[in-house]
Every structure is written in C-alpha cells, then in structure tokens.
Amino acid sequence: MTSTRRLAPLLAPSLLAADFANLQFEIERLAGSAADWLHCDIMDGRFVPNISFGVPVLQAIGRHAKQPLDVHLMIEEPQNYLSAVRDAGATNITVHYEACPHLHRVIQQIKALGCRAGVALNPHTPVWLLEDIAADLDLVCVMSVNPGFGGQAFIPNTLRKVAALKELLVDSGSSALIEIDGGVSLDNAAALVEAGADVLVAGNFVFGSPDPVATLADLRAHLSESELLEDESEESLNA
C-alpha cells in the first residue's frame, strides 16, 4: 500500500533579516529562488519592543517582488491599517490574537479586502483559543520565538504546539495553513513539517548566509529528501 505524499511546504524568507540598505537587490535576487512567499514583519514599537518598517517601505517592496507578500502585523490596532497594507501589495495579512479583542471582525475585514486572513499566536498563547474561529482562517502563524527581534533561538515546545494545532484544524474542518515563524533552520525544518507545518519562515538562517538563494535551495532539497525517506519507510511498513 502506497502512502499519500504531503504537499511540499512553502518557504517564506523573512525580509526583516535582509540588508535594508540594499532591499531592492535582496528582493530581486530571490525572484528565481526557492522562495514561495516573501515574509514582511511590520512592527510598531508598542505591541513588540522594536520598530521595523511601515506601509511606504512595504509599497517599495511590492514594486520589486515577484512572490506574494506575506505580511505579519506585529502591531496594536491592526484593523486601522488593513486597507493600506492591502493596497501596498499584501496577499496575506496576519494579525496577532493578542492584539485583537474583536478578532472575528478583523478576520472578516481582511477577507473582504480580498486577502488571505491569518492569526499569529505568541509562544505563551494556547492553540485551543482559536477553536471558535478556526474555520474562518486561511493561515495560523505559530511564533516559535518571542516576537519583535530576529536571530532568537527556536523554542522546542513549538513542535508539540504545531501538532496540537493541526489536530484542532482538522477537527474544525479548517483548511488553514500552519506557518512557523522564528528560528527555522535545517536542524528543525523537517520535524516541523512532520508535526504539521505548511509554511516555514526563515530570516537569519537565509540572509545571514553567504548565499541566500543557495541556502533556500538547500532547505528545499533537505525537505524533499526527508519526505522521500519518510515515504519509502512507510511503503516498506505497508508492503
């Protein structure tokens, strides 16, 4: 009996780790790479203790990007900026559960703008809090580091959290993608996909390397090899 192969995970390099002085170059060299989305972190210095960039820079990114823009709003009152973010070129808009007391309303606003609607969960936020809204979501971003700064170490408990989230989504009949943001590398990518991750965000791992395009290719090859080995193992067990 042959096992069913999972869809290959999407790779979303995080521009927060790119060279901001050469942002056009960084974006253009990813055009033909293994990157499926470009992840854009917008921070306000209130929800997280850092400021990254805002809508004008996002507009500039959108003018040069070939991949869809996956915009992660690490900000207070994100509902006030949804239209501007969409107009700047966002395909996906993700807001934080912790920043939205009226989360259902915000999700519906994002959908009405024609964007994929996502919710991000901080490391301390349990997945069961999404139970009543899971069916409305297109994306759930699991923070595998504390939001606000790049280069942090991956939180191991994320693997258990992803598995629990996958179970919740299946039980809810939700087709939402599970995205992992923070500390993703060759050391944990395959395990995250095995736990249920659909999208891997990688910042320093990609842009801190000598050749980001080659690093993304290596990550893609590593995941493909892991899936192949898993399929061969399952086929041998089911023969």
Question: Residue 147's pLDDT band (boundaries 50, 70, 90)?
Answer: confident
Three-class secondary structure of residue 238 per DSSP: helix
Contact 162, 178 (CB under 8 A): yes
- What's the pLDDT score for residue 226? 72
Which distant-in-sequence residues (6+ apart) come within 8 Å of 150 by Cβ? 14, 16, 17, 203, 204
- What's the pLDDT score for residue 230? 57
pLDDT tens-digit readout, 4-63: 445 789 999 999 999 999 999 999 999 999 999 999 999 999 999 999 999 999 999 999
Catalytic residues, by residue number, are: 41, 181
Per the prediction, the chain carries an average pLDDT of 92
pLDDT tens-digit readout, 125-136: 999 999 999 999
Model confidence at 151: pLDDT above 80: no
174: nearest Cα among 124, 144, 140: 140
